[in-house]
Amino acid sequence: MIAIDAVPAAKKQKTGVEWYAYRLLKKMNELEPDLEVVLYSHRPLDFELKGRWINKVLKWDLPGWSKIRWSWELFNDRPDVIFVPGDELPLVLPGKVVTTIHDLGFKHHPEYYTSEQVRRLDRAHRRAVNSADKIIAITDVTRRDVVAEFGADDTKIETIHFGYDKAMFKVRGEGDGEVARVRAKYELKKPYMFYVGRIEKKKGIAPFLKAWIAWKDQGDHDVDLVLGGTPGIVGYEKIREIVESREDIHEIGHVEYQDLGPLRSGALVEVFPTRFEGFGMPTLEAMASGVPFVCSDLAVLREVGGDAPMYVPLDAQGAWMRALDEVMNVEVRDAMRERGLVRAQDFDWETTARKTLDVLCSFL
**Alpha helix (H) ranges present in the chain?**
7-10, 16-31, 71-77, 105-108, 115-131, 140-150, 177-185, 205-218, 236-244, 257-265, 281-288, 299-305, 317-327, 330-344, 349-361
The full set of domains in the chain, from first to last, is 2-163+348-361 (3.40.50.2000), 177-344 (3.40.50.2000)
pLDDT at 13: 80
pLDDT for 236 beyond 90:
no
Residue 206: Cβ-neighbour burial (10 angstroms; 0-12, 13-18, 19+)? middle
pLDDT at 159: 98
pLDDT for 105 beyond 80:
yes
Nearest to 165 by CA among 20, 302, 294: 20
pLDDT at 66: 92
Which whole number is the average pLDDT over 133-151? 97
Report the run of H or E that residue 57 belongs to, with start and end.
strand 53-57
pLDDT at 15: 80
More confident residue, 290 or 202: 290
Stated pTM of the model:
0.91
pLDDT at 34: 97
User: Coil, strand or helix: which one is 83?
Assistant: strand
pLDDT at 100: 98
pLDDT for 282 beyond 90:
yes
Which whole number is the average pLDDT over 207-224? 92
Mean of all residue pLDDT scores within the chain: 94
pLDDT tens per residue, range 298-357: 999 999 999 999 999 988 999 999 999 999 999 999 999 999 999 999 999 999 999 999
pLDDT tens per residue, range 17-39: 999 999 999 999 999 999 999 99
pLDDT tens per residue, range 170-181: 999 878 899 999
User: For residue 237, what pLDDT band results from cuts at 50, 70 and 90?
Assistant: confident
User: For residue 133, what pLDDT band results from cuts at 50, 70 and 90?
Assistant: very high
Which whole number is the average pLDDT over 52-64? 93
Poorest-confidence range of 119-128, 197-206, 277-286?
A: 197-206
Under 8 Å CB-to-CB from 245, ≥6 apart: which residues?
none
Which whole number is the average pLDDT over 225-246? 88
pLDDT at 87: 76
pLDDT at 330: 96
User: For residue 258, what pLDDT band results from cuts at 50, 70 and 90?
Assistant: very high
pLDDT at 175: 80
